[in-house]
């Protein structure tokens, strides 16, 4: 049976980022009421100006702070009377450049885990009773990094693999309660987050070109992710993989993982570039 989004109340974290903005617009077109959250009220207000005020609530929210999330959840119930869907989408990566585990700053590594993994956990836990009460849906933004090698982006990839398992576990636990849990797996998306890691950086761009075939490394617009998300929610899909060319990689992830790990470890040019990256980023630290 189709899940209709009209008049459903959707809380989105990371709403002012590339994927968050596009998903908010697409959900609004479907008739949903939106709770837009992020760490910047100014960026949220800019987005909210596109929508009718009676269907929107904007509020700054820090996913590393339990009380911040609980406060927004309470405000949501006060304004709309319910919460049907939580979209745990907030995420960060390296600030300036890609780093290896050997060479990275410990505090930045842990900050990424704090936001991308524990922030998702806090968002889900703080809203879950309301979602279950309404037989609603939980959806998290994971990544193709959940099943591909996270070289040079280990904390981000670790987080995305972690929230994938959190969501899969939760889906099995909630199935008997009529509540759905979905994992969104975007491939390369043209957003500031990915541009910060790969855009215009010679070393990381070259490593990506050597590590992935051309058909996989082509970036897609966030609007394509948004359409896939809406379609997945309507069908209560457990997995939303976009673009579809990543589906075979996900299906055969065990074999692909073994082969790709061997390839990256034994490719002399990639290993040489890793050393070059470490020497360069050492100066930034």
Pick from 3, 62, 71: which is nearest to 31 by CA?
A: 3
Contacts with 226 (C-beta within 8 Å, 6 or more apart), sequence order: 19, 22, 23, 25, 26, 27
| Encoded tokens for 114 | 């704090």
Q: 156, 159, 182, 237: which is the annotated catalytic residue?
A: 156
Question: What does the longest C-alpha to C-alpha distance in the chain come to?
Answer: 59
Q: 160, 167, 185, 237: which is the annotated catalytic residue?
A: 160
β-pairing, 56-60 with 180-186? Answer: unpaired
Cβ neighbour number for residue 170 with a 10 Å cutoff = 17
Catalytic, 143? Answer yes
Catalytic, 185? Answer no
For residue 57, the cross-strand partners are 35
Catalytic, 74? Answer no
CA distance 139 to 27: 13
The answer to whether residues 117 and 145 touch, using CB atoms and an 8 Å cutoff, is no
Q: 16, 68, 142, 143: which is the annotated catalytic residue?
A: 143
Active site residues: 143, 156, 160
């Amino acid at each position: 049976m189709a899940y209709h989004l009209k008049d459903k109340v959707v809380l989105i974290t990371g709403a002012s980022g590339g994927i968050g903005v596009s998903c908010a617009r697409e959900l609004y077109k479907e008739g949903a009421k939106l709770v837009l959250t992020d760490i910047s009220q100014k960026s949220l207000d800019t987005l909210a100006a596109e929508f009718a005020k009676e269907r929107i609530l904007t509020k700054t929210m820090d996913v590393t702070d339990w009380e911040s999330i609980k406060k927004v959840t309470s405000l949501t119930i006060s304004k709309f009377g319910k919460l049907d869907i939580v979209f745990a989408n907030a995420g960060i990566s390296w600030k300036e450049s890609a780093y290896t585990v050997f060479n990275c700053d410990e505090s930045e590594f842990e900050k990424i885990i704090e936001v991308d993994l524990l922030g998702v956990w806090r968002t889900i836990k703080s809203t879950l009773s309301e979602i279950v009460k309404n037989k609603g849906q939980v959806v998290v933004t994971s990544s193709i990094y959940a099943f591909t090698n996270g070289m040079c982006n280990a904390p981000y990839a670790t987080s995305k693999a972690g929230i994938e398992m959190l969501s899969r576990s939760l889906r099995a636990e909630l199935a008997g309660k009529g509540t759905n849990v979905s994992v969104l797996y975007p491939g390369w998306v043209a957003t500031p987050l990915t541009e910060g890691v790969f855009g215009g950086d010679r070393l990381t761009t070259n490593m990506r070109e050597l590590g992935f075939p051309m058909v996989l490394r082509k970036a897609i617009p966030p609007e394509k992710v948004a359409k896939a998300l809406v379609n997945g929610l309507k069908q209560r899909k457990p997995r939303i993989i976009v673009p579809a060319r990543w589906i075979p990689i996900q299906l055969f992830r065990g074999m692909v993982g073994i082969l790709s790990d061997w390839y990256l470890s034994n490719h002399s040019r990639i290993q040489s570039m890793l050393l070059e990256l470490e020497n360069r980023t050492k100066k930034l630290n």
